[in-house]
Amino acid sequence: MAHIIDGKVISVQIKDEVKSMAEELSAKGIEPCLAVILVGDNPASQVYVRNKKKACEYCGIKSLSYELSAETTEEELLSLIDELNAHKECNGILVQLPLPKHIDENKVLLRILPEKDVDGFHPYNAGLLSIGKADLKACTPAGCIELIKRSGVDITGRNCVVVGRSNIVGKPVGMLLLAENGTVTTCHSKTKDIKAVCKEADILVAAVGIPKFVKGDMVKEGACVIDVGINRMDNGKLCGDVDFDEVCKKAGYITPVPGGVGPMTIAMLMNNCIVACRKQNNL
Ligand code: NAD
């Protein structure tokens, strides 16, 4: 039976570390501050935004909240971002995705100053990640690395396989594993014989978006399996991209869904707020 990596426990550890870093800043008269922008009334986004604001409160990070109507124009959103870019006290800007269809997401993300891009989605930060020099790393991928490292799993020299090549998860996870000296292979929808590739993995990260995609016979005995997938099933329950019941019998380490990677994203966002705040204050 695999060791179950508890993302709830590890995310609280990280938030507690963030809290003490925020206290250190506060002792210097600096209050880390995150602006959270929500456009429209997507119920899932409302929950995410609420959780981000709660995490800020827990960590001692000030949050500025902007809840805009679904009719907000692209121009209006861009001018709010310009305002926050210029706002000295605001260290991070987070625009909750997805945005309503009439707003160009790319244009909006590009408008956020890279040093305030706490989601790590700006091409400048993605570029820094690819040369191993990023301060602001995409939160979910950075969370995966923390889960692996804090579980005592060594990445150096290990075969790491990432299933999925999206810009927000698959690619940055691969870059971060490479930066940790893993030997990285990325699989995607056009990969031939995924099972054979996955079976070679000492560390396997699934970010596919297909429930129970990774089966027991795709996993090497003792592997560390990180499940990024969040799939909402018809019964309302969440299901990962890994067939947990099968894979936990073979893996050495496994993350559950929910309670694995999910809680790490917000914890890493909080950490990025501190990173951004320190940098902006030349600390
Ligand atoms: P995406 O749809 O952008 O990318 C999916 C990737 O999987 C693509 O690169 C595609 O090539 C690959 N893929 C699709 N079908 C495949 C197949 N049959 N075989 C091999 N590869 C295949 O998704 P994403 O945004 O990267 O998200 C992936 C999953 O992670 C989703 O379930 C999403 O909900 C979840 N997610 C979780 C968090 C979190 O905080 N835990 C954050 C972001 C995304």
Of 10, 168, 189, 231, the residue with max ligand 1 atoms within 8 A of its CB, to mutate for a pocket test, comes to 189
Nearest CA, atom 1, ligand 1:
166
Cα(26) to centroid(ligand 1), Å: 38
Of ligand 1's listed atoms, the one at least distance from the Cα of 163 is 21
Nearest CA, atom 4, ligand 1:
166
Give the sheet arrangement for strand 62-68, strand by strand: 62-68, 33-39, 92-95
181 lines ligand 1 (CB under 6 A): no
> 222 in the Ramachandran plot: left (φ > 0), alpha (ψ -120 to 50) or beta?
left
The CA distance from 82 to 44, in Å, is 26
119: annotated active-site residue: yes
Which pair of structure tokens corresponds to residue 40?
A: 């429209």
The CA distance from 153 to 192, in Å, is 28
User: Residue 18 is inside which H or E element, if any?
Assistant: helix 7-27
What does each of the 283 residues of the chain score in pLDDT, given as a tens digit?
999 999 999 999 999 999 999 999 999 999 999 999 999 999 999 999 999 999 999 999 999 999 999 999 999 999 999 999 999 999 999 999 999 999 999 999 999 999 999 999 999 999 999 999 999 999 999 999 999 999 999 999 999 999 999 999 999 999 999 999 999 999 999 999 999 999 999 999 999 999 999 999 999 999 999 999 999 999 999 999 999 999 999 999 999 999 999 999 999 999 999 999 999 999 9
175 lines ligand 1 (CB under 6 A): no
The pTM assigned to this predicted structure is 0.97
The CA distance from 64 to 45, in Å, is 16
CA 235: distance to chain centroid?
Answer: 26
Of 14, 47, 230, 272, the residue with max ligand 1 atoms within 8 A of its CB, to mutate for a pocket test, comes to 230
Please give the backbone phi and psi of residue 264, each rounded to the nearest 5 degrees, phi first.
-70, -30
CA 78: distance to chain centroid?
Answer: 24
Residue 281: Cβ within 10 Å count: 13
What string of DSSP letters covers 114-178?
GGG-TT--SHHHHHHHHTT--SS--HHHHHHHHHHHHTT---TT-EEEEE---TTTHHHHHHHHH
Nearest CA, atom 13, ligand 1:
189
